[in-house]
Amino acid sequence: MHKAYQPLKPTANRFLQRKWDQERYDEHRKKVREAKPVVDTRGFRTPTHIQAKLKKAQVQEERQAIINRDNQLLATKIADIQHSKGRVDHQNTYPERSLNFERRKARLLQVSHENQMIHERITAQESEYRRELWEEEWKMKKSVKFLGGAPENTSSIIEDRETTDEDLRLQ
């Protein structure tokens, strides 16, 4: 076995060189085992205010308070039902009301007022057409047809009674 050992450097005695190399190797391995890391790889410590999670606890307490309050309300309702000897009010007499009722009513009043104003303006306006002339022409046409007159005669009568601007101004 000692004959198989080949030292790294030329030596006078291979046995001693092997012993010294082995001691150096053992010392190296001991140092490697006992070595402390130079770089801290443990990670940072989580701060206590993050570890405690106070907000989560607060939300949980609020939720529990709501549940307790609801349970208390239900318990009082159940107690009232038990003390009322089982009578049930089954009448649903809720008034029908709309949240938009006031606005719709105001809009309806506004529209009806506007319609009334338009109606008054229309009825107050005098007609630009001369109804009397139309009635006369109609009577003339009617009388010509019953007299057995030719269509040429009706056109001449109508041409004689054409309305002018003067006639319109007079009425």
Residues 80-95, mean pLDDT to the nearest whole number: 76
pLDDT band at residue 153 under the 50/70/90 scheme: very low
- Burial pattern 15-37, b for ≥16 Cβ within 10 A else e, equals eebbeeeeeeeeeeeeeeeeeee
Does the pTM surpass 0.75? The reply is no
Residue 169: inside a domain: yes
Name the residue with tokens 């205010």.
Answer: 49
Complete DSSP assignment for 114-170: HHHHHHHHHHHSPPSS-HHHHHHHHHHHHHHHHTT--HHHHHHHHHHT---HHHHHH
Residue 158: inside a domain: yes
Q: What tokens were used for 73? A: 């309300």
How high is the pLDDT of residue 158? 46
More confident call, 171 vs 71: 71
Backbone angles phi, psi at 9, to 5 degrees: -115, 155
Residue 42: inside a domain: no
Residue 166: inside a domain: yes
Domain with 140, as residue range(s), is 130-171
How high is the pLDDT of residue 23? 94
Is residue 14 within 8 Å of 2, Cβ to Cβ? yes
More confident call, 10 vs 70: 70
Q: How many domains does the chain have?
A: 1
How high is the pLDDT of residue 157? 46
More confident call, 37 vs 100: 100
Residue 140: inside a domain: yes
CA dist 105 and 111 (Å) reads 10
CA dist 141 and 139 (Å) reads 5
Q: What tokens were used for 76? A: 């009082």
Residues 109-137, mean pLDDT to the nearest whole number: 91
The DSSP secondary-structure symbol of 10 reads -
CA dist 117 and 123 (Å) reads 10
Residues 21-38, mean pLDDT to the nearest whole number: 93
